[in-house]
Structure 1
Amino acid sequence: MQRSLYANSRVLRGCQIVLSRSLRLTWQEFDPPSRTSSPLSPFVISHGMLGNKRNWTTVGRILAEKTSRKVYAVDLRNHGQSPHSDEMTFFSMAEDVVEFCRHHDIASSILIGHSMGGRVAMTVALTRPEIVDRLVIVDASPSPKLGTRWNWVMNVLRAMNQLDLSKVKNQMDADAKLRPLIEDKGLRQFVLTNLRKNARHQYEWAANVPVMLASEKQLFTFPTFTTQFTKDTLFVGALKPNTLEPELDYIMDLFPTAKVRYLNTGHFVHHEDPKGFVELIDAFVDPNRTQDVPHLY
């Protein structure tokens, strides 16, 4: 598994061609029960901001078993075990995913992306539609406006940046030091999945927090596109709160065939209701499907 190699590639932004240097992403994979080579397009999953490939372990295993498709979950750049870079845009992250597919001989895949990873997946579909079989976007939209979660995400990143990791003794100590800055226990626990020890046995963030803070404008507004993705697309939104409803016009402008379904969860849809989430995905990708994707709520 290579973590720090680069590959030159060309990214299409509307009518402009930009030379980009892609990174080799780390990943985990889940095989279908038969373990034989499947002719079906595999899933390639991109996590949200401050997440990593491990967030998709449960759903990845179930999807592989239920759909008989191979599942890859990647660490996006500046996350998890993947390389860090000073460049962090949806185009650069999308090109990393394209390079991942090329490196693994994936001619066509079903892209799943949650939150920031959803915007990465949308960028791949809009710039390289020939390598995308179908598209699944989880609680994210292509809105050019600052998202509703912008304030609290920026506050979390600032809190992480303020924490003096040289004085952290262990996970519990880090939790105590973050408590005044991040009051929500569940959110703190999620943030602390990024805490790790480096080769010098010192604590550090797996996520490249300074670059994320510096890339605020690039990460919280979606780029303008003149193209559309017209293949099968499913948007899975949360109801607590429902942030997709106000963005439906933006969705249909770029993804005119999109179906929108909701689950009665918060933002981490696949974590809070893995059974309902997999049911929607299984119905969406079933090659023998005769009925529409169900409305569970």
Structure 2
Amino acid sequence: MWVSRRLPCPWIKCASSVSGFRSSGLSSSYPPSLSFRGVSSSTFHDDRKVETKSNPDASSKAVHLSYKAYESRPKKDKPMTKSPLVIQHSLLGSKTNWKNIAKEINHLTRRKVVTVDARNHGESPREPSMSYNLMAKDLRLLLDHLQLDKVSFMGQTMGGRIGMILALTQPQLIDKLVCVDATPFDSEISINRWRTLRQACAHLQNLEHELRSVHGIERSSLADKAIQDILPDTRDRSFFLSNLLCDPATGQMPNANTPLWRINFSSFLGNPDMTTSFPKFKNVSFPGKVLFIAGDRSQFIKKEDEDRIRDLFPNARFAWIPNCGHWVQTDKHVQFLKTVVPFLEGK
């Protein structure tokens, strides 16, 4: 039995559960004092060659991430042999974004599914440093804690890139990899998006005093108006503002020292090169099965990227879902599951 521990954020309002699904989910953020047999909590070994000028993350320690596990009771005389699935959200997201899909995949496949908050997101620790390599370190520590020798991994954009690093540096950890609207290559669009998001963070950070002086809908309305010109797309702005914390019962913050946001603005602003921190791999490839799934209107991955991606992932498959963009898992929910689940099941 696992020990269930949650970071002290009781004012976070969780999404309602999906009817028809049983979950034995345990939400946990394990304490740094835990020690694991044969595991160094601050060591992340790269087994593959990575081309890099310097490694500023070498001395930074992995952190203990908040996660939630969904499990089904094993059938009698049929032990579970399927690899667990770990799901990592996108930039500005959290594990709650994937709650419903995690439950559905657990229900359909009966495999264990674990959703994770990245550092500086959700209920995970707030750290000054943030890079793809560090976030991969964090995931490795989580796998060690859960005693998972091999997993399937699904991640969206930022989460997909973290999964790619694990697959390319430690292929023994990854059974199958699903990359949702993600590519290993930087683009002007992704760089400009990171710059825009940081601008929104700075604007709202400067507005903190005014935001704390109001509550409930008035607070979210003030924040929304403040970044309308920076994030003109209503859906992007709504996703950003979903990180605004409030007590669902009172609409107020518990105390003045409590963070206003699930995301760590200071870390976002202090790591301007985070989005371009994906390492350059030389003479390295992952031999396992990989699914790249995206909408045909995606701005982050294009069909012309397929050949370059296969240099790193020679067994990659590509699924282009018509008439949708970045939010493929929600805009085309059924088609998304009909594509991902058979891939995970080896069909």
TM, length-normalised to structure 2: 0.76
Asked if structure 2 preserves the Cα contact closer than 8 Å seen for 1:3 and 1:82, the reply is no
Partner residue, 1:87 = 129
Q: Which whole-Å CA distance do the structure 1 matches of 2:275 and 2:304 have between them?
A: 20
Q: Deviations over 1:222-244 (max 9, x none)?
A: 31113211011111022113633
Matching residue of 1:230: 287
User: Which entry has the higher C-alpha Rg, 1 or 2?
Assistant: 2
Quote the offset at 1:262 in angstroms.
1.1
Report the counterpart of residue 244 of structure 1 in structure 2. 302
Q: TM-score, normalised by structure 1?
A: 0.88
Deviates more, 1:235-244 or 1:266-275: 235-244
CA distance, structure 2, for counterparts of residue 80 and residue 250 of structure 1: 33
The 1:118/1:147 distance shift into structure 2, 3 A limit, reads farther
The 1:95/1:35 distance shift into structure 2, 3 A limit, reads farther
Q: Distance in 1 between matches of 2:107 and 2:233?
A: 34
Distance 1:66 1:35 in 2: 14
Name the stretch that deviates more: 196-205 or 25-34: 196-205
Identity rate, percent: 28
Partner residue in 2 for 1:254:
312
Residue 160 of structure 1 corresponds to 201
Q: Distance in 1 between matches of 2:208 and 2:225?
A: 12
Matched to 1:10, the amino acid is F
C-alpha distance in 1 between matches for 2:259 and 2:142 = 29
Q: Distance in 2 between matches of 1:193 and 1:20?
A: 29
Matches within 5 A, 1:23-172: 23-32=63-72, 38-143=80-185, 145-163=186-204, 164-168=207-211, 169=214, 170-172=219-221
Bigger fraction of residues in strand: 1
Displacement of 1:203 after TM fit?
A: 5.5
Question: 1:275: Cα distance to partner?
Answer: 1.1
CA contact (8 A) 2:128 2:270 kept: no
Q: Deviations over 1:195-238 (max 9, x none)?
A: 12565245522212232233232323531113211011111022
2:42 maps to 1:8: yes
The equivalent residue for 1:194 is: 243
* Greater shift in the superposed pair: 215-224 or 10-19: 10-19
1:33 to 1:61, Cα distance in 2 relative to 1, 3 A = farther
Q: Which amino acid aligns with 2:178?
A: V
Total equivalences in the alignment: 287
1:207-218 matches, cutoff 5 A: 207-218=263-274
Which residue matches 1:279?
A: 338
